[in-house]
Amino acid sequence: MRVLADIASLIRSKNAGPFVLTFDIMFESDDDYEIVRRSGALSVGVFAELYRVPAETVRFFECANARAFKFSIPRPCFQGDLGDADLHGGQQFIPLMSIEIPEIAGRSGSAAKA
């Protein structure tokens, strides 16, 4: 089984203002994007559990034409607040990298490479 970091061409996080973190996951090919989309490994529920936030606070977008997924959540503390350990939100993507992507029978393209 591979992890998301093996398939995605870009995984990043950043601030979307002082109160929201946003996460982008992008792929080089339609095949790679489709394998991850069909696997169900990226969803509101998975993201809520991973980042320990209520599912109703997760905004999730599938952008097939851009071969990308986007998630947004409220920041755990406001940007620049006393407890803020990541002022720009650029380090919050790390847990996404190890999400396991199940093997899908009959796949093709660059994602089929082991």
In the beta sheet, which residues pair with residue 74? 20
Confidence (pTM): 0.85
Q: What confidence tens digit (pLDDT) does each residue in 23-82 have?
A: 999 999 999 999 999 999 999 999 999 999 999 999 999 999 999 999 999 998 899 999
Query: What residue type is 15 in one-letter code?
Result: N
CB of 11 within 8 A of CB of 68? no
Q: Which two tokens stand for residue 98?
A: 């190890």
3-state helix vs strand vs coil in the chain, percent to 5: 30, 25, 45
